[in-house]
Amino acid sequence: MVSPAPQPPSAATDHATHLRLSHLSKIYPKQSVPAVDDVSLSLEKGKILALLGPSGCGKTTMLRMIAGLIDATSGRVEVDGADLTHVPVHKRGMGMVFQSYALFPHLDVSRNVAFGLEMRSISATERDRRVREALEMVQLGHLGQRRVKELSGGQQQRVALARALVIEPAALLLDEPLSNLDAKLRDSMRTEIRSIVHRLGVTTVFVTHDQDEALSLADTIAVMRDGQIEQVGPPEQIYERPASQFVADFVGRANLLTGTIVEADSDTVSVEVSDLGAVPAAVPIDGAVPGTEVTVLIRPHQVTVATDTPRGAPFHIKGHISDRSYKGELLTYTIRVGTREIIADSLAGMGGSDHATGTDVFASWDPLDSLILP
């Protein structure tokens, strides 16, 4: 897993760490705000880390500092305990896949994959063997003599991946690797990349702004905002227990209800929210006392919609459906209550109810499913 690492632990407790970033920062000339601001992370060998965040948050700058493509203003990049901070890019042993793939159009597939090996003076026999194995691994063994320009986008992506892996890299670095593919191909490539990386046991860092890609591909996600790490943890933790409103809103869809705590005990709180009244919620934050302003998080899939008053529901509100969106597997409702909107997801078909726009409905959820955010 990945964990914040402000102080390097002793070797006795750090035997699994493969890639370590210590207090890494980057300040570009004529910019007063750092692109990356004092970031520390550690990554175990063979694990996949996603650097997730909006455009301009510093995630690509982080990746390029790891690769050695740009110099860090301060901090260290270490692999297996060796300090690579000032090692030239061609001596770091990193395999990289760029968003544009950066393939050579005048070379065939095999020569593209072999390029990194040729730069390392690998013998022709060994080079040919490794290229064949790399192409077989990405299911392109039959296209070694094909020109790159004759390949589809998905095939070009596979060539770029094979080229990065054939050198047996110290780490694999992927910069928005799937952004140029259509939605269906992206889904299949996520599964394929994850399978290949785990099978080879290669430590991997990839940059993405796509939350679905991060959740499905990574072992651990580091959410970035304004050059800093907002939260780091397994995908389930990032989604189910976000540490801030920013993470909750950026990773997955969220109903965020801001109000003031009016009652609190050891297990639950009651939050007064405009238009909704007193909203019960569980998992209070430390120091959650009456008068504290907080935000209640409810994910859309946790909201139940019904035309009749829910029986036995600990909490419900009444409103009307202002929008209905059919998404194949899901129906998404926007429920207006006064000036506020609640988003609810419901499985389409499967004997479930389908509510038309304008219908008066009750929305309910279990307070134990909610989360209090500062």
Give the span between the Cα atoms of 58 and 51, in whole angstroms. Answer: 9
Confidence class for position 282, pLDDT limits 50, 70, 90 = confident
Q: Is pLDDT of 152 > 50? A: yes
Give the span between the Cα atoms of 241 and 232, in whole angstroms. Answer: 11
Between 1.10.3730.10, 3.40.50.1000, 3.40.50.10420, 3.40.50.300, what CATH number should domain 17-249 receive?
Answer: 3.40.50.300
Residues near 370 by beta carbon (within 8 Å), at least 6 away in sequence: 279, 280, 281, 282, 283, 296, 297, 298, 302
pLDDT tens, position by position, 110-137: 999 999 898 887 889 999 999 999 999 9
Q: Is pLDDT of 256 > 60? A: yes
Domain ranges of the chain: 17-249, 254-373
Neighbours of 88 (CB within 10 A): 8
pLDDT of residue 3: 44
Neighbours of 366 (CB within 10 A): 14
Question: Contact, 171 vs 19, CB < 8 A?
Answer: yes
Mean pLDDT of 232-251: 96
Question: For 50-59, 174-183, 325-334, which range has the lowest pLDDT when averaged over its residues?
Answer: 174-183
By three-state DSSP, how is residue 339 classified? coil
Full strand arrangement of the beta sheet holding 220-225: 94-97, 171-175, 204-208, 48-52, 220-225, 228-233
Q: Which two three-digit tokens encode residue 51?
A: 């650097």
- Work out the burial of residue 30: count CB atoms within 10 Å of its CB; fewer than 13 is exposed, 13-18 middle, 19 or more buried: exposed
Neighbours of 374 (CB within 10 A): 13
- Work out the burial of residue 120: count CB atoms within 10 Å of its CB; fewer than 13 is exposed, 13-18 middle, 19 or more buried: exposed
pLDDT of residue 9: 31
Confidence class for position 13, pLDDT limits 50, 70, 90 = very low
Question: For 14-28, 41-55, 70-84, 206-220, which range has the lowest pLDDT when averaged over its residues?
Answer: 14-28
Question: Contact, 283 vs 338, CB < 8 A?
Answer: no
Q: How big is the chain by its Cα radius of gyration, in Å?
A: 25
**∠56-58-59 over CA atoms, to 5°?**
110
pLDDT tens, position by position, 286-296: 767 899 999 99
pLDDT of residue 1: 42
Neighbours of 373 (CB within 10 A): 23
DSSP 130-141: HHHHHHHHTT-G
CATH number of 254-373: 2.40.50.100
Three-state secondary structure string covering 188-248: HHHHHHHHHHHHHCCCEEEEECCHHHHHHHCCEEEEEECCEEEEEECHHHHHHCCCCHHHH
pLDDT of residue 350: 64
pLDDT of residue 68: 96
Question: Contact, 295 vs 257, CB < 8 A?
Answer: yes
Mean pLDDT across the chain: 90
pLDDT of residue 119: 80
User: Of all helices (H) and strands (E), which one includes residue 172?
Assistant: strand 171-175
